[in-house]
Structure 1
Amino acid sequence: MKSHPPTPRGPGAFSRRNLLRGGLATGGLGLVAGAAGCGSPVAAGLAGTQLNPGTVTFWNLFGGGDGARLLLMLDEYRRQQGSADSLVAATFAWGNPYYTKVSLATLGNKPPDVAVAHLTRATNLAAAGLLEPITEEMLGLVGLSSADFTQTAWEAGQFEGQSYAIPMDTHPWVLFYNTDVCQQAGLLGPDGKLLPIEGLEAWEAALTAAKETTGRYGAATASVADDSNSWRFVNTVYSQREGATPLMSDEGQEITMNDELMIDTLAAIQRWTETELMPRVVDTPGAETLLSQGESAFFMNGEWEITTLQSIEGLNFSMAAFPQLYENPAAHADSHAFILPRMERDADQLERAMGFIHSLLEQGMTWAEGGHVPTYLPIFESEEYANLEPQADYAETATYASYDPAAWYSGSGSNFETVTGSQIGLVQQGLSTPEAAVASIRSQLETYARTANPL
């Protein structure tokens, strides 16, 4: 994320990036970090003064490499406007605290002009009546159209036939690979890229070849201290299967998981850890260390981890979409998106808000450097993005992204991901059977399904 909970990192991450050491801590480029109170930095200037007419207020949840890149983009918007006070931006804690602030500020009639939300959380806000619908007329104010975006992401921002979000990116769960190890294991083609891995047998053969080369593991991904990652792993593999149904339907009121397929999916993952093709117990930093030290050929996580791996001296790595193991291509993903919290806006305010969004979309190459796949087609289809490696090598995932099923309790960093991920983690660690994990997931989700939407 990083728009995701920050993982402790070593020095040197995002070197262009070291501007964070000064700018983010002091608000030197206009970003207010960790602002207290829902509306305090936005309803008035930083010193408690009234905002100048024409100022756009913007809330987000970006930290780490994402936060550093956002600073550059916000500064470019100010340059375009010719005024440092054309924008007031605030960054809040990732996850439920952020969405609580957005909700309460909107209910209190003091929301920002524009905010960021994950698409899987934006529809929840829309269901609660907290967002303005995004119409073609509004998009047209700044020369945009719904046809300007990858349709998988655009459709994920819809609720009851209306659009409520403008997708900024798709951020999928992907495969990182140590090119030195893969070369020794015979897994690279003449172009130095990973040879296609198609099907379950080919995946297990690749893991075996990698394990024989490393002497330890074939692949690694977090099984502890990151419930969301465990869910992303299983959602990727489960969604590839013919007959895989969403875990919930009817806005989360009905549990529709295909228990048989989920049990079989978990059994395959547990087999990989039992045979030590993958470690049973490892967190994200530990999995990254296995990759960087040549003790694993593959590391699976969200593409945003590119910033961390780029900072590891001597590591030669690349990236690819996670292989298609079953009948259908699929990869877990979410999208960062722009939303317009519900408020009274005059025509000028609306056009300024849309102009701000358009400016950030046009700066999509800066954002793509952090690993995210652009959803704005003029960037996604550009030659410049096609030449951005390894980022462009998994761009296909934007066309078959598998988002969290819609429910008030689902979405990035939600209770749903904690419930599912914690049980999946126990299976990865060998502490639970697939059958017991699925039974527990179903039981816990049914409790949420019977609970009235609190939004």
Structure 2
Amino acid sequence: MPPSRFASALSRRHFMTWALGTGAAAALGGCQESRAPRESKDSKVTLTFWNGFTGGDGAYIKKLVEQFNQATPGIQVKMNIYLWADFFQKVPGAVISGQAPDVCVMHLDGIPTNAARGIIMPMDDLAQALGLKASDYTSQEVWQGGLYKGRRYGIPFDMHPLGMYYNKGVLRRAGLDPEKPPRTGDEYMAALEQLKGKGIQGHWMAPFLFTGTFQFESLLWQFGGELFDPGVTRATFDSDAGVRALTWLVDLVKKGYSPPNVGQDADFIAFQNGQNAFNWNGIWQLNALDEVPGLEWGAAPIPRIGPQEAVWGNSHQFVLMRQRSPDPRKLEAARTFIQWMSQRSVEWLESGKIPVLQRVAESPEFKSLEMQGQFARQAPYIRFPPAVAGISDALALVDKAVNQAVLGKASPADALKAAAAQATQVVRDNHEKYGD
């Protein structure tokens, strides 16, 4: 499930010697196997690994950790999986108490806050030893998202964008081609109108983060708007572009294409039950739909409603936790683990993700994943939350505006204006708090 809303003790020379000895420079660009640190049979290293993969991706991460433990008897990984909200609450306390896990996965927008608080540690040596560079990645934003104040704190593992699921059976009932989902705003509205004529409300509009806010942010960017100004000192989501985006979504309810007061996840459940035709949701739902008996469905990029292509997305990134007494052997082992996991990114993508590395995106193995491939068509224009410290508090106000407008408690313009004023104060307070 995607999100709710800290110098290595190992010397550079020590690390570079180890990394080059394992062929690390080629690890993420080729097929070499990583090797565990050379330890005697009595000096096995145990790593703790925390993440929030409680959904369908949990089975995939468990399988990969089991494979790693079998392949590297000198390193054993013990994994704890928490709900993401619980994960982000537990991590700071664990670091402060000296009980921090060794490796974690965090979302891109959580990295700056945890770096600023000293919860995660820089990984520049790792990235340099592996030869990682921006051109290796399918998105420059996902690469830049692992940086904070010029230092690297995250190694990208995947991307998980919004996309459009379509129910082929429902489209067929309405006389629409089940193999040709709408791609433009005009095509989308025509399809919704035809569905409405058959008594079907085609797009259930959720007033919550999952996935109403993701839909709003996608359309904000499509209409040429931005969430904040370039320095993230002022909220700008109440711009004309923002009002147009939110009005379009609110009109889905007003014009009868969506029922009012859609409950959390009710849109996705209705899709599975054949009550609506389109569901803008995350790639993480792929495997859940595969498990629904008799459901005929497809996936496609979200339609281009505004003048330009854009879609919300986020990224899981590996991070190293700050330790009260850093152990060089554990640091070596943690880097071996991250390297090994990155080599197996295609297996991870089967859980409902798209690749961050160009070589993986171009591989026959990934191209055989049909539905993931549909989401990956959006890779050139995936947009991410601003990677600045404390951003989650400001983004929560976007959620508030979407909720109020979709539920009819305020007009789109009024809801956005009030929320943007509050968000501007939050980001200004954050600049003082974190010194950004």
Q: CA deviation at 1:216?
A: 2.1
Q: CA distance change for structure 1 residues 360 and 186 in 2, over 3 Å: closer, same or farther?
A: farther
Q: CA distance change for structure 1 residues 122 and 109 in 2, over 3 Å: closer, same or farther?
A: same
Aligned pair 1:415/2:399, yes or no?
no
Q: CA distance change for structure 1 residues 340 and 147 in 2, over 3 Å: closer, same or farther?
A: farther
Q: CA deviation at 1:124?
A: 1.8
Code of the residue aligned with 2:219 in structure 1: it is V
Q: Distance in 1 between matches of 2:151 and 2:179?
A: 41
- Aligned match for 1:176, one of 165, 173, 198: 165
Q: Distance in 2 between matches of 1:240 and 1:263?
A: 12
Query: Any conservation in 2 of the 1:240–1:330 contact (CA below 8 Å)?
Result: yes
Q: CA distance change for structure 1 residues 290 and 368 in 2, over 3 Å: closer, same or farther?
A: same
SS in 1 for 2:120: coil
Of stretches 292-301 and 123-132 in structure 1, the one that deviates more from structure 2 is: 123-132
* Aligned position for 1:328: 308
Q: CA deviation at 1:334?
A: 0.7
Aligned pair 1:388/2:365, yes or no?
no
Query: Any conservation in 2 of the 1:249–1:405 contact (CA below 8 Å)?
Result: no
Query: Any conservation in 1 of the 2:162–2:214 contact (CA below 8 Å)?
Result: yes
* Aligned position for 1:12: none
Of stretches 438-447 and 66-75 in structure 1, the one that deviates more from structure 2 is: 438-447
Aligned pair 1:428/2:414, yes or no?
no
Question: How many residues align structurally?
Answer: 394
- Aligned match for 2:256, one of 269, 273, 276: 276
* Aligned position for 1:217: 201
Q: CA deviation at 1:449?
A: 3.0
- Aligned match for 2:218, one of 236, 252, 260: 236
Q: Distance in 2 between matches of 1:139 and 1:348?
A: 18
* Aligned position for 1:446: 424
Q: Deviations over 1:314-338 (max 9, x none)?
A: 1111111111112221111111110
Query: Any conservation in 1 of the 2:164–2:299 contact (CA below 8 Å)?
Result: yes
Q: Distance in 1 between matches of 2:328 and 2:150?
A: 24
Q: CA distance change for structure 1 residues 126 and 436 in 2, over 3 Å: closer, same or farther?
A: same
Q: CA distance change for structure 1 residues 4 and 406 in 2, over 3 Å: closer, same or farther?
A: closer
Q: Any stretches of 5+ residues in structure 1 without a counterpart?
A: 6-50
Aligned pair 1:306/2:286, yes or no?
yes
* Aligned position for 1:94: 84
Q: Distance in 1 between matches of 2:230 and 2:89?
A: 24
Aligned pair 1:194/2:194, yes or no?
no
* Aligned position for 1:293: 273
Q: CA deviation at 1:248?
A: 5.3
Q: Deviations over 1:328-368 (max 9, x none)?
A: 21111111110112346565433321211122222222322
Q: CA deviation at 1:183?
A: 3.7
Q: CA deviation at 1:422?
A: 2.6
Q: Distance in 2 between matches of 1:342 and 1:147?
A: 29
Q: CA distance change for structure 1 residues 142 and 408 in 2, over 3 Å: closer, same or farther?
A: closer
* Aligned position for 1:400: 381
Query: Any conservation in 2 of the 1:229–1:421 contact (CA below 8 Å)?
Result: no
- Aligned match for 2:142, one of 144, 153, 167: 153
Q: CA deviation at 1:162?
A: 2.6
Aligned pair 1:131/2:120, yes or no?
yes
Q: Distance in 1 between matches of 2:153 and 2:227?
A: 22
SS in 2 for 1:237: helix
Q: CA deviation at 1:292?
A: 2.4
Q: Distance in 2 between matches of 1:144 and 1:86?
A: 26
Q: Distance in 1 between matches of 2:425 and 2:223?
A: 27
Aligned pair 1:351/2:332, yes or no?
yes
Q: Deviations over 1:195-223 (max 9, x none)?
A: 4512x32221122223334x121212422
Q: CA deviation at 1:291?
A: 1.6
SS in 2 for 1:219: coil
SS in 1 for 2:84: coil
Q: Distance in 2 between matches of 1:437 and 1:82?
A: 56
Q: CA distance change for structure 1 residues 256 and 267 in 2, over 3 Å: closer, same or farther?
A: closer
Aligned pair 1:72/2:86, yes or no?
no
Q: Distance in 1 between matches of 2:248 and 2:269?
A: 24
* Aligned position for 2:9: none
Query: Any conservation in 2 of the 1:149–1:167 contact (CA below 8 Å)?
Result: no
Identical aligned residues as a percent: 26
Q: CA deviation at 1:236?
A: 0.5
Q: CA deviation at 1:166?
A: 0.9
Query: Any conservation in 2 of the 1:141–1:354 contact (CA below 8 Å)?
Result: no
Q: CA deviation at 1:126?
A: 2.1
Query: Any conservation in 2 of the 1:361–1:376 contact (CA below 8 Å)?
Result: no
* Aligned position for 2:359: 378
Q: CA distance change for structure 1 residues 248 and 187 in 2, over 3 Å: closer, same or farther?
A: farther
Q: How much is the aligned-residue C-alpha RMSD, in angstroms? A: 2.6
Q: Distance in 1 between matches of 2:209 and 2:131?
A: 41
Q: Distance in 1 between matches of 2:426 and 2:131?
A: 42
Instruction: Give TM-score scaled by structure 2 length.
Output: 0.82
Query: Any conservation in 2 of the 1:240–1:327 contact (CA below 8 Å)?
Result: yes
